[in-house]
Amino acid sequence: MGGDEVFALLIVVGIPCLLTFFILNRVFDYKKHQLEVQAGNAAEKAAQYAVDNKDLEQRVRVLEKIVTDGGAVTAAQIEALRDLPEERLNRQLEDLKSKA
């Protein structure tokens, strides 16, 4: 095997192998990046669902309080639910209970 044959073998085999290596490396980096983005999105959705779930639980607690209380207080609490943020609402509900 002469020098020309070795050089030809490097060109025929070596360059395609290197190109294949670099192309596959880029493809795998891209797939890795895609998985990282998907994992980040999944984590954001999970956090958002947790917050939404807490909000719903708190609303259910308020509704349970309204249902178990007396009639006159219930009407005032329903009106308070329509217009007030949750923190102010809880304070007013406590005030109404203490008056009743």
Q: Does a structural domain hold residue 89?
A: no
Average pLDDT score over the chain:
82
Asked whether the beta carbons of 66 and 54 are under 8 A apart, the reply is: no
Q: Does a structural domain hold residue 65?
A: no
Q: Does a structural domain hold residue 25?
A: yes
**Cα 81 from Cα 94, distance rounded (Å):** 13
For the chain, the domain total comes to: 1
| pTM (predicted TM-score) | 0.46
> 39-85: per-residue pLDDT in tens?
999 988 988 888 888 888 888 888 887 777 666 676 776 776 776 56
In which domain, by residue range, is 17 found? 1-50
Q: Does a structural domain hold residue 7?
A: yes
Q: What percent of the chain has pLDDT over 90?
A: 26
Q: Does a structural domain hold residue 79?
A: no
Is the model more confident about 38 or about 8?
A: 38
Q: Does a structural domain hold residue 24?
A: yes
Q: Does a structural domain hold residue 27?
A: yes
Residue where the block lists tokens 């670099």: 22
- Token code pair at residue 17: 């192998």
pLDDT of 30 > 90? The answer is yes
Q: Does a structural domain hold residue 60?
A: no
